[in-house]
Amino acid sequence: MAQAEFETPTLNEWVSTPAVQRDAMAHSRPFVAKPEHQASLGFPGELVENWQEVALDKMGELLGRYRSLQVFMDACVKCGACTDKCHYYLGTGDPKNMPVARQDLMRKVYRRYFTTAGKLFPKLVGAVELTEEVINDWYSYYHQCSECRRCSVYCPYGIDTAEITMAGREILATIGVGQKYSNEIIGKVHTIGNNLGLPEPALADTLEGLEEEIEEDINVPVKLPLDQAGADVLLVTPSADFFAEPHVDGLIGYAKVFHQAGISWTLSSYASEAANFGIFIGNYQNMQKVAQRIRQAALDLGVKRIVIGECGHAWRVAYSFWNTLIGPFDFLDPAYPVPQHICEFTYDLNSRGGLKLDREANDDKVVTFHDSCNVSRGSRIGDMPGGQFTIPRDLIRAACTHFVDMAPDTIHEHTFCCGGGGGLLTDDLIELRVKGALPRAQALQQVIEQYGVTHMAAICAICKSQFSKVLPHYGMGMDMIISVHQLVGDALVFGSEH
């Protein structure tokens, strides 16, 4: 389905909460998964005949399996604190993009079939039957949530709409209506090992090319080893790092850090993907299966540590869920946390004097930092709560002279999603992606005007892809967005040349 033309919102001095515009985004729907994308994930190929029964059974099962879903269905009092917090509501004005209204798409069905009040007095409590219209709304609006958890920060009961979106998507996939983008990608990971479907020879070739490029550039033989059994560290990074701009400069940055630290490391062609779209579709088993490849690769290669490259949701899955899904990691060196974030790794090296950084290399830049949602609100970096905010910034400050933060209500736990997270980074949702980026673009615009910011660093592959695509819609350069490890890599000083 081709997207109609749309208008990019204009940037004002601050984000104002739009008035309710009913059905403003009702037309936004991603492509539906084809039968083969569904089948490889264990879902039916097309809408099953008794879909209503299957959907309600699934909802009942999830209510009994996820305390989050059960409590969140009951606890909401409609206080409205979340209504102006979602970047998709702020960018579109569609009331169903208010977190509580998005939850209510499921809650009203829950009430009808699973609560006494909804069975007896459906109109009174806003309960409705599970009709085709409701399913259509689910498909549309559960794919207008990037599962960024911003709403959960402000909810007096901690209701996290991401949990409900995940359940909604899981129910949809179970009746045969999965999303093409996410499901096709998960299928590729199951069969080939990464989101791009990049096979081993192509990966080896790419890495070799990068090695040559680095050597030409800085005259140092920095290696990007692949499948090197016995290496100390297995680096698992989003596959976008292998070829996409600006991601690849981040990968070069990691390689330079390993090189200077003299730590042996390797990538794996079997587990050549840190991203785990299993979280996006809310399916425990697919998420586990995707993660399992990494455990297997670590065992096969006999590494001592696992380090994760710059990727937001991958880090949430790795940090928060791996031990549950694929632990315990008793075969790895207990001296290091499992897994370790690349920023944690570099930060430790640098604070122990293991790296030589020259800030002057980045003196042409004024840098700000975009906190990625899954890192900020779904995980941690370092030993202390909040390390996910301080460690990347400390790294940037170690590599750059000029650093400024964006407005306080748009960073740290209050950060705005880039607009492309949660399985929405697909061209069939470009209108949503552009509009959802409004709050971040607004905050960025402000520091550009005030401080002359030239670059925004991030530690998430999706953020990087999304911003390079949507920032031009707001009149900003696509190359404004860079990797934190690009800054680090460029500032590293090798040998005696300094």
Of the residues 11, 20, 244, 349, which one makes contact with other proteins according to CB under 8 A:
20
How many angstroms separate the first and last alpha carbons of the chain?
A: 56
Q: How far apart are CA 361 and CA 374, in angstroms?
A: 30
- Those residues with Cβ within 8 angstroms of residue 481's Cβ, 6 or more apart along the chain or in another chain: 246, 370, 455, 456, 457, 458, 463, 464, 467, 468, 471
Nearer to other proteins, 171 or 255 (CB): 171
Contact segment (CB under 8 A) with other proteins among 28-36, 38-46, 213-221, 269-277 equals: 38-46
Q: Please select the residue that binds other proteins; options are 376, 415, 426, 442, rule is CB under 8 A.
A: 376
Strand order in the sheet with 481-483: 367-369, 455-458, 481-483
The residues with which 368 forms a beta bridge, in sequence order, are 456
- Contact at 8 Å (CB) between 443 and 407? yes
Q: Which of residues 426-485 bind other proteins (CB under 8 A)?
A: none
In the set 11, 26, 63, 204, which binds other proteins (CB under 8 A)? 63
Helix H or strand E segment including 483: strand 481-483
Smaller CB distance to other proteins: residue 170 or 310? Answer: 170
With respect to other proteins, which residue has the nearer C-beta, 289 or 485? 289
User: Does 392 sit behind a cis peptide bond, omega within 30 degrees of 0 on the bond before it?
Assistant: no
**65: contact with other proteins by CB under 8 A:** yes
User: Number of C-alpha atoms within 13 angstroms, CB side, residue 432?
Assistant: 29
Query: Going residue by residue from 169 to 198, which x/- string records binding to other proteins, judged by CB under 8 A?
Result: -x--xx---------------x--------
- Other residues' Cβ atoms within 10 Å of the Cβ of residue 301: 19
385 contributes a contact to other proteins by CB under 8 A: yes
- 46 sits near other proteins (criterion: CB under 8 A): no
Task: Check binding of 1 to other proteins (CB under 8 A).
Answer: no
**Contact flag: residue 156 with other proteins (CB under 8 A):** yes
Q: Interface residues for other proteins in 95-154 (CB under 8 A)?
A: 95, 98, 100-101, 104, 115-117, 121, 123-126, 149, 152-154
The 3-state DSSP class for residue 5 equals coil
Q: Binders of other proteins among 323-342, rule CB under 8 A?
A: 323-324, 327-328, 337-339
List CB contacts of 217: < 8 A, sequence separation 6 or more. none
CA distance linking residue 417 with residue 439, whole number of Å = 9
Nearer to other proteins, 100 or 248 (CB): 100
Please choose, out of 73-81, 353-361, 474-482, 489-497, the segment that lies near other proteins by the rule CB under 8 A.
Answer: 73-81
Task: Answer yes or no whether residue 60 interacts with other proteins by CB under 8 A.
Answer: no
Residue 271 interacting with other proteins (CB under 8 A): no
Of residues 295 through 324, those in contact with other proteins by CB under 8 A are: 319-324
